[in-house]
Chain A
Amino acid sequence: MRSIVYYVREFLRPEWIRKFFSVKTAPLETPSYFKGYPTRTEKECTGCFTCMMICPAPGAIAVLRKKDEWEPEVYPGHCIRCGLCVEACPEGVLSSGRILDVTRRDRTAFASWYHLDVDDNLCMRCGNCCVSCPVNRQIDPQLAGTGTSASDEVIMRIEGGRVRILHMEKCTGCTTCETQCPNRAIRVARMVEGVQLGEAEA
């Protein structure tokens, strides 16, 4: 009996009755600060592959060459909407929620270094890494299918039956070689550091 009285009292509160009629039409629009899928701003993409380097989900973002310009493409169904690519992009090509504004105001950024190493015991000398590397292809479009190259400017090439790394400093850390390697022989170590610029300069 006591509980019945209790619930009748609970449901007869004016606040409850008001809510009963009003709560159904709650606003269901997505708030502006929600990190949605990254969208393109009008800034020009330079093809630095920072977004591919930092993306934690496999196959979520790819920077593609379309005619004369680079174009980052985000794949829903793979993208986990973490917003790291928006934060890491040095040009502000992508935008999601209010990350871009907040990052600019706080002057936060990611600094990164890369290290390539090849395990000679695992490497099969297939040359997949040299061919698939987007930086390699840019430097030497004539890169052969076996990974040999006449140019000395490429990051790595097949030389004397093994992969030789020539210019590690040109690596952008996009891990294309790592995903293309059939034997997990080439490894890209990506050291990323979250930094804030404002205090140091002021």
Chain B
Amino acid sequence: MSILQKIKNTVRSRSIHVSYVDVGSCNGCDIEVLACLAPRYDIEQYGIYVHNNPREADVLLVIGSVTPQWVDKLRDIWDKIPEPKVAVAIGNCPISGCVYARRGTLTSPPVEKYIPIAAQVPGCPPRPTEILNAILSVAPLIFKDYEEKQP
């Protein structure tokens, strides 16, 4: 492993930028992601920064079952995120559609149909600690030795 790669690993492990996109949820998971910012959970002590800007993000948190408006736009957002990137599905909605996956619904879950999902956090809504653990466990797997893993 080159020294450059080692430096990259160290830097990446301490600065993970998170962006979240709400593609049609009930808001519950939204505010649980916001609650991670609270001093009690303090997401920034692990070097995770929540901006809502896909162009500088490493981790995309997808919240909600996909509404018709987001079907094409979600892919656009995913393409705008620079490599290396990872998407995490927060809550039941992106996994199964939660209570909306019924006859007559307008949503079209799961979100895996549109973008690749690396990790799922089930729960309606999940606790902030569960969200934190998911981001912390999935981020190093993707970002460590990213250049060496490339074919």
Contact = CB atoms under 8 A, between A and B. Distances in A.
B96 A78 contact: yes
B129 A77 contact: no
A56 B102 CA distance: 11
Interface residues of B, number: 21
B103 interface: yes
Contact of A26 (B40, B103, B123, B127): B40
Contact size range, A = 10 to 19
Interface string A14-38: 0000010001101010100010000
Contact of B122 (A34, A58, A77): A77
A77 B96 contact: yes
B98 A81 contact: no
Interface string B16-42: 000000000000000000000001111
A34 B127 contact: yes
A57 B40 contact: no
Contacts of A145: none
B130 to A, nearest CB: 9
Contacts of B42: 23-24, 26
B40 A80 contact: no
Contact of B129 (A30, A57, A81): A30
B114 to A, nearest CB: 17
Contacts of B123: 76, 81
A34 B129 CA distance: 13
A80 B92 contact: yes
Interface string B79-107: 00000000000001001111101110000
A57 B127 CA distance: 19
23 contacts: A23-B39, A23-B40, A23-B42, A24-B42, A26-B40, A26-B42, A28-B41, A28-B132, A30-B127, A56-B99, A57-B98, A57-B99, A58-B99, A58-B101, A77-B92, A77-B95, A77-B96, A77-B120, A77-B122, A78-B95, A78-B98, A80-B92, A81-B124
Minimum-distance CB pairs A-B, first 7: A80-B124, A76-B122, A77-B95, A77-B122, A78-B96, A28-B129, A26-B40
